Amino acid sequence: MSEDLQFTFALVLNGVSIGLMYSLIALGFVLVYKATDAINFAQGEFVMLSGLIVAVVLTVAGAPLIVAVVVVLAAMIGFSFGLERVVLRPLLGRPVVAVIMATIGLAAILRGLGPVVFGSETRAVSLPIGDEPIVLGPASLPPIQVVGAVAAVLLFIAFHWFFKKSRMGVAMRAVADNQQVAQAMGINVERYFALAWAMAGIVSAMGGIVWGSMLGVDVHLALVGLKVFPVVILGGLDSIGGALVGGLIIGVVESLAAGYLDPYVGGGTKDFAPYVLMILVLMVRPYGIFGKRKIERV
Amino acid sequence: MFHRESGVFKTTYAADMALYPLPIAKWTVAALAVIFVVIVPLTVHEYYLSILNLIFIAIVGALGLNILVGYTGQISLGHGAFMSVGAYTAANLAVKLDLPFWLTLPAGGLMAAAIGVVVGMPSLRIKGLYLAIATLAGQLIIEWTINRVPAISGGAQASIQVDRPSLFGFSFNTQGTLYFFLLFFAVLAIIGTLNLVRSRIGRAFVAVRDQDIAAEIIGIDIYRYKLMAFAISSFYAGVCGVLYTYYFGIANYEQFQLIVSIDYLAMIIIGGLGSVLGSILGAVFVTLLPIVIRILMENVGSLFFTTAEMANVISGLRLGVFGGLIIFFLIVEPEGLNRLWRNIRSYFRVWPFSY
């Protein structure tokens, strides 16, 4: 393999693993949007909150990893249930802009009070996986990226099974498809709204562990949430498979852009390229690759 | 504004749209003018004048955002970036070409309006959530561009020093003189918005917000009016950015990050969407809140936090309280402080009878 090709291969491999980690977070957004039509602008802050909880349980309380995982899952599920009940339910039936602003407000609360409650220093989440890079052909990956990618794939398989086979998953798809008909069929729609938020909480908890361990946990962890929008717009807002594919594309695009363009513009293309791609998608195909074409033309 | 009516006796649309609903309202405005032009600058301490100055700047920006979000019903998360466009345009013109403020200020506004129209273009095809994300992308891309292109940002630290504005050899270089400078533009923005929203354009905006399809059927070109709303709104934002630049004497992209867009959204939600008075109340409220929090924390917070933590705690609390207020007002009183004020007034309209 030539030098150039090896470089490209390394970039693509890195992009794929990062992209899968993006899909992991985007999944939380898609689950909520699909089931409840609510837009969660605080997805990144959810991840930050989970990261903070894990880091505090691990470092301050000195508990083993398994305890931290259980605690963060419980905390995030409880948090999401409460959130749905207190904030989102009163806003049902209000204009979509109201929900957007409410979640922006929520993001501000979490970002503001998170460091006040948990302390503002950067904490590490150390997973028992070592630092030795995993070598794949001519490229190598940090182990945390491999763990994150594998976790993402496993979660996607789990959710795929859940929606296709389990009774609850089928009911949830019915709610997503048409709330009134679902209600007429005897499905408790509000309960499934809460469930959707709880699932977003679970996904964010996983995201918090993986991303927190990769970047370190402080308030800046919430910035990964900004990557959610290009991913979900590209894949389609209400498509779980779309989150996976969108994440992969965004991951690869940003990795290639960073590898090839950064030397010319002085860095930062990573945060820029996904949004340019997203604007193009919005112009050409706003419902994304797999999204339903229900977007209203004006 | 502060007069008490005995009832609603309007019989024509013209009367309903008049700037002065009753003759006495002119006296209220005159009294306010005397208070703000004569009494306040003579009696108020310089520190409080500096707070008032910040409020005046915020009023300009909040009015602009309210024209877009409150009146036209389009959302924008990119207003911080529009401000930075105005700020850097004016700063570059002022430093490189040595132009006076009465040229750089409209130039900054027009540049922001042009960029705002480009960022607002997607609103022709998409709305709601998609528009929010598209303007968010606009914010991030503009931020990135300004930060990376030295020709715009002036190289080091991406900031440009600007001299204080001057007119006929008189320099506005103290809080006391800047007060008049900023008061003039805040009043201009208020009068401009009041007249805009009762004109044909303003009513077209409201029609687009309330039901865009119906608006199109009665002959409103919604594409044109949406873009116009983006242009006017970002013009205000650009002017607001220029005012910040002249006020601080420096244009710096850190003053105009995403968080600023959210601050301004908070202003108009807390103040009241689709109302001029609401924008003013929101601007006052949101500007005063961090100051109140800081004073509170300096007195009470030292019991819980060390001095080193204090700065972080204050900025965190400020953000958290903003978020809480946004959610509170959205759920409990979507029309904001303006609605509370109207409730008080309509209570006194028929007082002492309950209805």
- pLDDT tens track for A203-214: 999 888 888 888
Tell me the Cα Rg of chain A: 19
Give B334→chain A minimum CA distance, Å.
9
- Which residues in chain B have Cβ-Cβ distances shorter than 8 Å to A105? 266, 322-327, 330
Distances in Å between the alpha carbon of A286 and those of A75, A98, A181, A296, B196? 35, 21, 27, 10, 33
Two tokens, residue A43: 């997805």
Note if the pTM is more than 0.90. no
Asked if the structure places residue A295 within a domain, the reply is no
Q: Which helix (H) or strand (E) holds A136?
A: strand A134-136
Q: What residue in B sits closest to A42 (Cα-Cα)?
A: B323
Q: Which residues on neighbouring strands pair with residue B171, listed in sequence order?
A: B166
Return the residue in B69, B126, B127, B133 with the most chain A beta carbons within 10 A, the one to mutate for interface testing.
Answer: B133
CB contact under 8 A, B327 and A107: no
For residue B249, the SS3 value is coil
| CB-based contact A116 B130, cutoff 8 Å | no
pLDDT at B169: 67
Q: What is the pLDDT of residue B305?
A: 67
pLDDT of residue B4: 65
C-alpha dihedral sign at A79, A81, A84, A85: negative
CB contact under 8 A, A91 and B318: no
- Cross-chain Cβ contact A275/B137 below 8 Å: yes
In a domain, A222, yes or no: yes
| Banded pLDDT at A298 (limits 50, 70, 90) | very low
**Least trusted range by pLDDT, from A63-67, A125-129, B230-234:** A125-129
User: Cis peptide leading into B352, omega within 30 of 0?
Assistant: yes
Name the closest residue on chain A to residue B211, using Cα atoms.
Answer: A298
Please check whether residue A38 is in contact with residue A99, taking contact to mean a CB–CB distance below 8 angstroms: yes
Expressed as residue numbers, the domain containing A101 is 3-125+140-284
Q: Which of A233, A268, A295 sits opposite B144 (nearest CB)?
A: A268
> Shortest CB distance from A101 goes to which of B309, B319, B326?
B326
- One digit per residue, the tens of pLDDT, for chain B of length 355 reads 566 666 677 787 777 777 777 777 777 888 888 887 777 777 778 788 888 889 999 999 999 999 998 898 888 888 999 999 998 888 888 888 877 888 888 898 999 999 999 888 877 777 677 888 888 888 888 888 887 777 776 666 667 777 777 677 677 777 777 888 888 899 999 999 988 988 899 999 999 888 888 888 998 888 889 899 999 999 999 999 999 888 888 888 778 888 888 888 888 888 888 888 889 999 999 889 888 888 887 777 666 666 666 777 788 888 888 889 889 988 888 888 888 888 887 777 777 776 6
Check CB contact under 8 Å for B323 and A110.
yes
Q: Closest residue of B to A98, CA-based?
A: B330
Which single residue is written with the structure tokens 């389990």?
A166
Distance (Å, rounded) from C-alpha A280 to C-alpha B305?
A: 48
CATH of the domain at A55: 1.10.3470
Q: How far is A205 from chain B (nearest CA, A)?
A: 21
Q: Which of A106, A268, A297 sits opposite B323 (nearest CB)?
A: A106
Q: Nearest Cα to A42, choosing from A114, A116, A106?
A: A106
> How close B215 comes to chain A (CA, Å)?
11
User: Which residue did the predictor score with more confidence, A3 or B136?
Assistant: B136
In the prediction, which pLDDT does B57 show? 92
Q: Is A121 left (phi over 0), alpha (psi -120 to 50) or beta?
A: beta
The shortest C-alpha distance from A132 to chain B (Å) reads 34
CB pairs below 8 Å between A and B: how many? Answer: 140
Could you tell me which chain A residue has the CA closest to the CA of B124? A298
Q: Which residues in chain B are contacts of A108 at CB distance < 8 A?
A: 262, 266, 319-320, 322-323, 326
Element (H, E) at B10: none
By C-alpha distance, which of A256, A168, A228, A188 is closest to A47? A228
- Report the C-alpha dihedral over residues A205, A211, A214, A220, rounded to 10 degrees: -120
Q: What is the dihedral of CA B53, B58, B59, B61, to 10 degrees?
A: 140
Report how far residue A192's alpha carbon sits from residue A174's, in angstroms, rounded to the nearest whole number. 10
| The pair of three-digit structure tokens given for residue B37, joined into one six-digit string | 């032009």
* Non-local CB neighbours of B79 within 8 Å, separated by 6+ positions: B61, B64, B65, B233, B234, B237, B260, B261, B264, B265
CA-nearest residue to A296 within chain B is B126
Q: By 3-state DSSP, what share of chain B in percent is helix, strand and coil, each rounded to 5?
A: 75, 5, 20
The total of structural domains in chain A comes to 1
Across the interface, of B132, B318, B321, the residue whose CB is closest to A100 is B132
Q: Does A97 reside within a domain? A: yes
Nearest-angstrom CA–CA distance, A272 and B94: 30
Partner residue facing B262 (CB), from A104, A226, A233: A104
Q: Mutation test of the interface with chain B: which of A106, A275, A277, A287, choosing the one with the most B Cβ atoms within 10 A?
A: A275
Nearest to B128 among A97, A272, A278 (CB): A97
3-state class of B20 per DSSP? coil
Instruction: Name every chain A residue with its beta carbon within 8 A of the beta carbon of B77.
Output: 104
The span from the CA of B211 to the CA of B20, in Å, is 29
Strand A134-136 versus strand A139-141 pairing type: antiparallel
Q: Is A45 contained in some domain?
A: yes
Q: Do B128 and A298 touch (CB under 8 A)?
A: no
Q: In whole angstroms, what separates CA B132 from the centre of its chain?
A: 18
Residue A162 burial class via C-beta count within 10 angstroms: exposed 0-12, middle 13-18, buried 19 and up: middle
Residue A13, min C-alpha distance to chain B (Å)? 26
How crowded is residue B312: how many other Cβ atoms within 10 Å of its Cβ? 16
Q: Rounded to an integer, what distance in angstroms lies between the CA atom of residue B131 and that of residue B128?
A: 5
Could B317 and A113 be called an inter-chain contact, meaning their C-beta atoms sit closer than 8 Å?
yes
Q: Which residues of A touch B75 (CB under 8 A)?
A: 97, 100-101
pLDDT surpassing 60 at residue A296: no
- Answer yes or no: is A57 within a domain: yes
A131 within some domain: no
Contact A213, A59 (CB under 8 A): no
pLDDT of residue B344: 82
> Which of these ranges, A100-114, A263-277, B240-254, has the smallest mean pLDDT?
A263-277
Q: Which residues from B are below 8 Å from A278, CB to CB?
A: 133, 137
Instruction: Name every residue whose Cβ is closer than 8 Å to that of residue A157 and which is 6 or more positions away in sequence.
Output: none
State the nearest Cα–Cα gap between A242 and chain B, in angstroms.
16
- Cα gap B26→A34, rounded to integer Å: 54
A116:B320 CB<8 A: yes
Q: Do A113 and B316 touch (CB under 8 A)?
A: yes
* Closest by Cα among A98, A111, A100 to A47: A111
| A276 lies in some domain | yes
pLDDT above 90 covers what percent of chain A?
6
Looking at the predicted complex, does its ipTM rise above 0.85?
no
pLDDT, tens only, A246-260: 999 999 988 888 888
Number of Cβ atoms within 10 Å of the Cβ of A138 = 13
Which residues, at least 6 apart from B197, have a Cβ–Cβ distance to it below 8 Å? B67, B71, B203, B205, B206, B276
Cβ contact, residue pair A298, B127, below 8 Å: yes
A88, A197 contact by CB (below 8 A): yes
| Cβ contact B55:B244 at 8 Å | no
Do B82 and B52 contact (CB within 8 A), yes or no? no
A22 in helix, strand or coil? helix
Q: What are the distances in angstroms from CA B117 to CA B29, B112, B189, B228?
A: 35, 9, 20, 8
Which of A129-138, A179-188, B81-90, B113-122 bottoms out in mean pLDDT, i.e. has the lowest? A129-138
pLDDT higher than 60, residue A295: no
Residue B323 and residue A105: Cβ atoms within 8 Å?
A: yes
Give yes or no for a contact between A68 and A133, defined as CB atoms under 8 angstroms apart.
no
**For B259, nearest residue in chain A (alpha carbons):** A108
Handedness of CA B68, B69, B75, B76 (dihedral sign): positive
Cα A180 from Cα B116, distance rounded (Å): 39
Higher pLDDT, A119 or A106: A106
Give the gap in angstroms from C-alpha A148 to the nearest C-alpha of chain B: 26
| Chain B residues close to A281, C-beta within 8 Å | none
Residue A289 falls inside a structural domain: no
Q: Which is more confidently placed, B2 or A229?
A: A229
Q: DSSP class of residue B220? A: -
